Structures are given as C-alpha cells and as structure tokens.
Structure 1
Amino acid sequence: MTDSTPLVTLCQQASFIKSADKLEQCPPDIGREVAFAGRSNAGKSSALNTLTHARLARTSKTPGRTQLINFFQLDELRRLVDLPGYGYAKVPLALKDHWQRHLDSYLSERQALVGLVLVMDVRHPLSPFDTMMLDWAQRADMPLHILLSKADKLNYGAGKNTLLQVQSRVRKEFGGHVSVQLFSAPKRQGLDEAYAKLEQWLMSEIS
C-alpha cells in the first residue's frame, strides 16, 4: 500500500494483527500508529468500528471486556490500536493494576505512537481517568483528540454546550495539543472531522 492511498480506504481495509498483554508482545515498533483510549462503556469500540466500517473492535454491554492492547493494520506501516477500557468497578483490582502498568509502558515507550484518541461519553466527560490520560499526553507532548461520543443522546443545543465547555477546559488546563469534537457512531456524526485528524497524524510521509 502506498502513501497515495486515501486514509478512508485504508480504514475500510483494516484488519486485526494481534493482541498484546505487555509491551514486548506488541508488533515491531516501526511506522505510525494511533491509539484509542477511553473509560469502559464510553463508546470506544463503537467509534473504532464506525471509522473502519468493520466490526474490528469487540463491543459488549458488559464494560471492561477489552483487556489486551489490540492492533489493527491499515497498511504495512500504519496501525490503529484499541487500548484496554478502564474504570469498571467489577474488574478485579489485580487486573486493573496489570492493565495500568502495561498501558503506561506502551504509552511511555512506544516510538510508533503519534497520536491518542480519547473517547468520552458526552454526558459524562472529563472523568478522573480522562484527566489522567490528558495529564500523560501533556507530559509526553503527545497530540490528543477527544471524541465526545454518544452525541445522539443529547439534543443539538446540549451537545454544542458540552463541546464548548470541554474545549474551554482542556484549552485552559492542557494547552493547544488537545482537540475536541462531537461524535455519534449510530448517526455517523463527526466522521469527516475524525478522519481528518487521523489523516493528519498517519498520512504524512514515513521515512
């Protein structure tokens, strides 16, 4: 696959590579990848599936099912990554500790990681987990894009108001490397904006 292939086409052709329980199990650390993170049940898997036009990421009515780092190939040098969902009370504490330790290793040491998409339920944005991820991205100087998911659950005015509030807060607390948008998987709202961000991160030339 060449650099001239459109990002949307690459997403439509996305395929599962492997799951990793720890950093050393990840695919070779080359090329570029964008990771998707979010609290359990924030709509992360639905967002990934909508952006790739496939059922790549496992959705479940039981939060906390994504327990591994899952890699999806767009082409030989570009990947999307589904990170474990966090914050679900019924997940055993030892498992939470394991996820936390290996997520930190991935985020801190993975050279191919060029951007992070943080999925938040628009009705419950900026949870402690979300703030932790924003803090990490700021320390690492990692670009971060927020998808305020499930925007179809609010009317237009309420959704727009939440968007403006979140934009104001992250701009004040985390600076200009964080962008925010509304997103709805079932309504396919916000796809163009999300694709534009992924294209910005993934589609520049790779040396």
Structure 2
Amino acid sequence: MSLFQGLTFLTTVNDLKALPPEGIEVAFAGRSNAGKSSAINTLANHTRLAYVSKTPGRTQHINYFDFGAERRLVDLPGYGYAAVPEAVRRHWQGLLGKYLESRPNLIGLVLIMDSRRPLTDLDRVMLEFFLPTGKPVHCVLTKSDKLNNQEKVLALRGVKDEFKNNPQITVQLFSSLKKQGVAEVENVIGGWFDSVQQPSESLEPMDGE
C-alpha cells in the first residue's frame, strides 16, 4: 500500500498549545485556492478527506491526518485571501509563523503553489519563516493540466532556477485532475519519514500566542 492510502483524519486545532506532543509530521501549506486540499485528497485517493471549499480562505484551523506509526500530515490554513477579516488574518499569520519556525516535530514542508502563478509574495513569506530551520521544502506546482507542454517546462524551470543553489528545496509539477505527480510526492515525503527519527514523546508543548 502506498504511503497516502491509509491516511485518516486525526484532529483539528486552532491553538499551538493543542498540537499533539508526539509523532513526526510533514506540513502542507499554500495560498488560498492553490489546490492544497485537492492535492491531499488526490494523494490519499479519497474525494473528501481534506475539505475543499468553494470559498477560498474558509479553512481556518490546523488539521491533522495520520499515516500510522506516529507519522502525521498537517494541513495548514490557506493564506492570502483578501476577504478574510483582518483579525482572523493576523491570527493565522501568527499561528503559521510560530508553527513553521518552532514546531520540533515538523520534519519538512510541502509548499503548494498554482503552477500558473508560483512564488507569490506570500509564498516567499512562508519560505522566509521556514528556510532558517534547515528542514527540507518540496514545492508542488498544482493545476499543471491547465498548462500546455511549453508552459509546464517554463513553470518548472522558473522555480527550479530560482533555487538551483539551495539543495534544501525540490520542485515538481502536479495535477489533481490528471492524478499526475503522485508518486513523486510520495517518494519525497516517504524519504523524509525514513531519514528522521521520531522526537521524544516528552517534548514540551509549544507556547500559544
């Protein structure tokens, strides 16, 4: 069975103090409407595992999914939707920033970006939060089915060229509609899990906001 096939919902939290203290985890982050929930559902071969909203910015909590063996997938709130109230947006930014910078259980970040508009200003902010940790980042360029072959080459090359001197970052194309790129994501994340020992269950919980 592939890595994502047994993925099940575990819990949802809206406060860093409520994060599970045990296990190791990989986080999925992305701009609102970049296709993050669709990507998770496609990887898990499950149509409704992660909530896909027709209203960008609706997902406001950190959702945990379980692979088994104390391995977790963390679905972070989408960012960048202008219609979200300012107070809510500030809360998300504080929650995301502290989580990405300080979560000891986190072993890698999957950054979901629309292949037609990769590396927005807010995507770069996410990278600024996370890259100083030294942990790996895998950029998944979604909705590649909306590009022709030349556009795919250019989109992939553009992001790869920007980070060509940073071995911490890898990049791929992905299509939920065509189910393309699934094996590559599985290989990357599976490699992260295989290479990292689980943190101790005695880890102190992170401070809340």
Unpaired runs of at least 5, structure 1: 1-5
- The AA in structure 2 aligned to 1:32 is I
2:127 corresponds, among 126, 131, 134, to 134
Shift in alpha-carbon separation, 1:178–1:205, aligned structure 2, 3 A: closer
Would you say how many aligned residue pairs link Structure 1 and Structure 2? 197
**Distance across 1 between alignment mates of 2:6 and 2:170:** 26
Contact conserved, 2:29 with 2:112, CA < 8 A, in 1? yes
Q: Give the TM-score, by structure 1 length.
A: 0.91
Contact conserved, 1:31 with 1:206, CA < 8 A, in 2? no
1:193 corresponds, among 184, 195, 202, to 184
- The AA in structure 2 aligned to 1:87 is G
1:78-117 matches, within 5 Å, as: 78-117=71-110
**Distance across 1 between alignment mates of 2:135 and 2:196:** 19
Deviations 1:88-142 (A, max 9, x none): 0100010000011111221122111000000000001100111111222221112
Deviates more, 1:45-54 or 1:134-143: 134-143
Q: Give the TM-score, by structure 2 length.
A: 0.90
1:36 corresponds, among 23, 28, 32, to 28
**Distance across 2 between alignment mates of 1:168 and 1:105:** 29
- SS of 2:163's equivalent? helix
1:38-187 matches, within 5 Å, as: 38-54=30-46, 55-172=48-165, 175-187=166-178
What's the CA shift for 1:31?
2.5
Give the match for residue 201 of structure 2: none
Name the structure where helix makes up a greater proportion of residues. Answer: 1
Give the match for residue 22 of structure 1: 15
**Distance across 1 between alignment mates of 2:17 and 2:164:** 35
**Larger relative contact order, structure 1 or 2 (CA cutoff 8 Å, min sep 6):** 2
**Distance across 1 between alignment mates of 2:69 and 2:193:** 12
- SS of 2:190's equivalent? helix
Give the match for residue 3 of structure 1: none
**Distance across 1 between alignment mates of 2:130 and 2:8:** 27
**Distance across 1 between alignment mates of 2:123 and 2:111:** 7
Shift in alpha-carbon separation, 1:205–1:90, aligned structure 2, 3 A: closer
Alpha carbon RMSD of aligned pairs, Å? 1.3
Q: Deviating runs (4+, > 2 A) in structure 1?
A: 203-207
* Percent identity for Structure 1 against Structure 2: 48
What's the CA shift for 1:203?
2.8
- SS of 2:33's equivalent? coil
